[in-house]
Chains A and B, each alone.
Chain A
Amino acid sequence: MRKSGVALALASTVGLGACVQTRQYADVQFTPPQGEYKLLVLRPDVTVGSLTTGGMIEPRAEWTDEARANIVAALKAQQASRGGNVTIIEHRNALPGVPEQELADVERLNFVVDESIVEHKYLGDYLPTKRGRGLDWTLGADAVKLGRQSGYDYALFLHAEDQVASKGRIALGLVGLAGCFIGFCAPNIGGAEQLDYASLVDLKTGEVVWFNVVDAASQVPGIKFGDLRTPEGAAQMVERLLGRMKPGQDVRSEKARR
């Protein structure tokens, strides 16, 4: 599936350590949304699966639904505390004043722009023309039109995937650990991994103003860094992903000068 492309690419770069990592980029002029702002969240893309003994990911419907509900609740609570008014759209035809097809176009455009951001900011394919310019991508006129039609200030695109190691996978890890005593040590066969990313688009300018990736991977099955199926785990994820939005480079140096 096309959707998993970005996630796979991200997982291959940031997924090597057994820890929680985040790496965010922002437009040089970016100031985190404050005061009263209207935020549109387009179809949060959430999947939770079971990690099989052999290391495959088996999607689970109930876990996914639980995780999505938890994330939506956590997101609303977090944004409300900052003064944001959040609307979460589950279907493309659910936004009054915007035709389904146009919303689909913006969503697909955002997806390829996200792919490009991942390619050139995270995968090492750095562009000399964008050096020192923070996050320099835009969705252009279509996003501005969406903002005008719907009256929202920002659009947030969110992807989250999480796994739970199956009993078989945990047992296999334990066997690998037991092997350490006779000289074949393999406890780190790879455990569950949570990968989340989000991009924030300013609907007044059409620019992608902020992008962040959270990777919480474990090499040892059974050890987990947050579980999206629980409200606490989802709140933790939302906090890791969106909690500390750093202002852009220019804004920060401006502050430092003053």
Chain B
Amino acid sequence: MCVRCLDLTRRSLLIGGGAAAAALHTGVASARIRPADTVPLIGPGFKPTDEDEKGLWHDMDRVEEEIADTNLLVTDPNITGYLRELIGTVGGPAAKDFRIYLMRIPDFNAMMFPTGFAVVFSGLLLRMRNEAQLAGVIAHECGHFLRRHEIRSWRDQRRKTDLFSIGAMLAGIGGAGAGVYLGNYVQLAQLGTLLSLFKYSREMEAEADAMSAKLIAQAGYDPMEISTVWLQLIGEEQASAAYRGKHRQHGSLFDTHPSDDARMADLRADALELKVPGKVYNDYRERYLAAIGPIRPMLLDDQVKLNDPGASEYLLQTLAQDGWNGLLRFYEGEVWRLRNRPAFHDEERAAQSYAAAVVYPDAPADAWRWHGIFLLKEGRTAEAKAALAKYLAMKPGAPDAPWVRQVIG
């Protein structure tokens, strides 16, 4: 065509790249989706009719079968029944169709599969301070199903990869016909396609957030609690990163979810928009604690053993905002004892925590055990023996019972 083509191509490529980067930069933070705009797209008893969605559901049957009898599943009927009831309350029109599985994984996560079964990690139950917070997260997952996010994002992906392939082929042929090399443009388009897929995913998450606020407000929960969930998570990530001498990760173009900070801000705005003056909203903290009470020691134990003292301590402090008790104080002692850094006086800190734990009536037997052992180390033998005797009385079949008996004398 012309001799300056190459020159022009390179310059225009730079301009094009710059413009694309600018457009995408603003694309990280997308506009807030209003809760009122999130209308459920399906009703009760939904079954797919389109070929692609039927295929997706068919594949999922086997996945659900696999999840339903993995040995990571928590099967205690009280807690699973509680979760089923909860999803039945905040699940909108599909409330009766959902299945929910609790997995013993000490991590903050929950997910919804295309066919309407949700998986909740045990680490989520540890972090939630009341039923409203848990309802918020579960409602978010329900939002994915009610807005048909899985099939919509699959179709988006299919459409964009189709367009990219056709475009790349035409660029190749067109370029060959015209005698120019368009490979750089094709690569830029590939990056653009990829980034637009991530952006679409973030939009769906924002939609599910808005819907969750709406669903729980309708069920009488305080919608403000969901933004508190993100506030807590941000704090935990900061504490964990600070302890490890790292910086907390912030949002990037390749994120599938909006940044925690953006979600918190949007959810606050959602809550303010949704709350009706005069209506009473509840967080149902008591009911929540009663439901998870029996498995709370397991949840705390799993967390402490992650060897992430920064996050564990932050979590304990967060939970203690609703009041300290023997269980929380005991696990605080465990965090320091397991960290065991002399420079930070961890041993003294642990001893203090165990001593504080046994003051509460709900102190676990092991709190008395460690309290006794630390008293022994301090040389306070008489008090130590009393504490160890209390431990034995609470846990006569303990594996170290013979040793304790010998120490008590």
Contact = CB atoms under 8 A, between A and B. Distances in A.
A90 to B, nearest CB: 10
B55 A58 contact: yes
Contact of A59 (B59, B163, B175): B59
B117 to A, nearest CB: 15
Given A92-B65, A179-B176, A61 B57 contact: yes
A184 B183 CA distance: 12
Interface string A31-71: 00000000000000101010011111011111011000000
Contacts of B177: 182-184
A158 interface: no
Contacts of B164: 54
Interface string B176-219: 11000000000000000000000000000000000000000000
26 contacts: A3-B62, A45-B62, A47-B59, A49-B55, A53-B165, A53-B166, A54-B165, A55-B161, A55-B165, A58-B52, A58-B154, A58-B158, A59-B58, A60-B55, A61-B58, A62-B54, A64-B58, A100-B69, A101-B71, A175-B169, A178-B173, A179-B176, A182-B176, A184-B176, A186-B169, A189-B165
B238 interface: no
B69 A54 contact: no
Given A182-B176, A182-B177, A183-B176, A64 B165 contact: no
Contacts, number: 80
Interface in A167-216: 168, 172, 175-176, 178-179, 182-184, 186, 189
A186 B172 contact: yes
A182 B178 CA distance: 10
Interface in B32-79: 51-52, 54-59, 62-63, 65, 69, 71
Chain B residues touching A, range: 20 to 34
Interface in B51-109: 51-52, 54-59, 62-63, 65, 69, 71
A1 B172 contact: no
B157 A56 contact: yes
B348 interface: no
Contacts of B165: 53-55, 172, 189
A182 B52 CA distance: 37
A73 interface: no
B349 interface: no
Contacts of A176: 169
Interface in A1-28: 1, 3
A60 B172 CA distance: 32
A56 B62 CA distance: 21
A195 to B, nearest CB: 16
A178 B170 CA distance: 11
B190 to A, nearest CB: 11
A258 B177 CA distance: 67
Interface string B147-170: 000000010011011111110011
Contact of B175 (A45, A47, A172, A184): A184
A104 interface: yes
Nearest to A93: B69
Interface of A: 1, 3, 45, 47, 49, 52-56, 58-62, 64-65, 91-92, 100-101, 104, 168, 172, 175-176, 178-179, 182-184, 186, 189
A66 to B, nearest CB: 12
B166 A184 contact: no
A61 B55 contact: yes
A13 to B, nearest CB: 24
Contact of A179 (B59, B71, B172): B172
Contacts of B56: 59
Given A54-B161, A101-B69, A183-B176, A172 B55 contact: no
B55 A54 contact: no
Given A178-B173, A186-B169, 11 more contacts: A52-B162, A53-B166, A54-B161, A54-B164, A59-B59, A91-B65, A104-B69, A172-B166, A172-B169, A175-B169, A179-B173
Given A61-B57, A64-B55, A92-B65, A54 B176 contact: no
A205 to B, nearest CB: 26
Contacts of B157: 56
Nearest to A168: B162
B97 to A, nearest CB: 19
Contacts of A184: 172-173, 175-177
A178 B177 CA distance: 12
A101 to B, nearest CB: 6
4 interchain residue pairs of minimum CB distance: A54-B161, A184-B176, A61-B58, A59-B55
Given A47-B59, A104-B69, A175 B173 contact: yes
B55 A53 contact: no
Given A54-B164, A172-B166, A184-B173, A1 B58 contact: no
B194 to A, nearest CB: 12
B2 to A, nearest CB: 19
Contacts of A65: 58
A6 B222 CA distance: 46
Contacts of B51: 60-62
Nearest to A100: B69
A54 B162 contact: yes
A176 B171 CA distance: 11
A1 B114 CA distance: 14
Determine which residue in A3, A59, A92, A182 has the highest number of CB atoms from chain B within 10 A of its CB, and name it.
A59
Nearest to A65: B58
A172 B171 CA distance: 13
A53 B158 CA distance: 8
